[in-house]
Amino acid sequence: MLKIITAGESHGKCILAIVQGLPANLVISKDFIDKELARRQKGFGRGPRMEIEKDSVEILSGVRHGKTLGSPIALMIKNKDWLNWQEEMRVEESKPVSPLLNPRPGHADLAGALKYGFNEIRNVLERASARETVARVAGGALAKIFLKEFKITILSQVVKIGAIEAPLRELSLKDERKIESSPVRCFDQEASKRMVEAINQAQERGETLGGIFEVAAFNVPPGLGTYAIFEKRLDAQLASALISIPGVKGVEFGDGFKLADQVGSESHDEIFYSSKKGFYRKTNHAGGIEGGVSNGETILIRAVMKPIPTLGKPLRTVNILTKKPSQAFKERADICVVPSAAVIAENMVAFVLTQVFLEKFGGDSLIDIKGNYQTYLKRINWRKR
């Protein structure tokens, strides 16, 4: 079974990922992983931390002469900023240099301190930080490499930042270059400009902004996931993966919440058949998943990202030791991370799709999996879209 374990703190020496379950003989590109890490760091609204970190992966195990061995793959991304935090992040027993006592509303600070019995907040924020997602992007990049062997491609874009919303349109793989050239990863140029302006205005006011991004997975075959075991429904697994990204507060598939306003005849995707395509749909209200199973259409997911809780003008809070009113502490942070969250989401979607793909087609060697896959495609007469 494919799984990933991440370790490391935001200002520690490094962030680690161990990926178990990828098949042998998959060609791995360090350059591709580094490009995904770089994409995660980009996006207008990121803070000064991204000027320090130049994320690059070091592959420690599981790959030899450019190919996977079938054994666990260990990945390391060093934190350059650790040099500025060595005293604060010392492993050996010592007293905190400057303990943080004023939790930020909207962050894990207070809930985490109460849960684990900490008398300061840094023990919480170092792991709750979205810096951990750099490991998930590295692991997700491995999954993307695997999916490319089967012509499955994943794309994302930002559709809303603050009150600025781009016109909804059907995503296409042809859109990738234009999306990546936008400072906020939005296809619509006019909306992109207005989003940048909104981020600048928020920064001037000491505010932060959230938004909405969408992820599309193309050429996913029908039959991934299951209706038979509730926690293994594909949409349940994907929703769980996206909600686990710090700051994501809601997920929808296809038409999502719009379906509440529609009648049944408007809500479902009629089924057609041709010898060239096999079974197919002319619409995609379901977002490519029905009954917890992929149906062969593009998987389309949107997610809501809340504004970052570290504000230029801190909110009211309470000191966890004195219990007296105070202001939340302010640490170096971003203004808007919706473009970055979309890249993280791409890689999380890739990881989940690889998990269910391997469950369906089995095998611990790439050549065996490809054989199983081709046999299945022939049986169901499905053609890549």
Going by pLDDT thresholds of 50, 70 and 90, the confidence category of residue 168 is: confident
Least confident of 36-45, 87-96, 323-332: 87-96
pLDDT at position 48: 60
Q: Considering the chain, what percentage of its residues have pLDDT values greater than 90? A: 85
Render the burial of 37-72: b for 16+ CB within 10 Å, e for the rest: bebbbebbbbbebbeebebbbebeebbeeeebbbee
CB-based contact 346:215 (threshold 8 Å) = yes
Dist. CA 222–CA 385, nearest whole Å: 12
Answer whether residue 49 shows pLDDT above 60. Answer: no
User: Could you tell me the pTM of the whole model?
Assistant: 0.95
Domain residues of the chain, as ranges? 3-380
What is the bridge-based pairing of β-strands 289-290 and 293-294?
Answer: antiparallel
pLDDT single digits (tens) 146-163: 999 999 999 999 999 999
Kindly state the average pLDDT of the residues 218-226: 97
Residue 51 has pLDDT above 70, yes or no: no
Longest dimension (CA), the chain: 73
Give the per-residue pLDDT at 22: 98
Amino acid at site 38: A
The DSSP bridge pattern shows strands 211-218 and 153-161 to be antiparallel
Find the mean pLDDT for residues 59-82: 97
Question: Is the CB of residue 73 less than 8 Å from the CB of residue 61?
Answer: yes
Report, at the CATH architecture level, how domain 3-380 is classified: 4-Layer Sandwich (3.60)
Residue 89 confidence (pLDDT): 86
Structure token digits, residue 153: 């491609």
Which tokens sit at 336?
């808007």
pLDDT band with cut points at 50, 70 and 90 for residue 275? confident
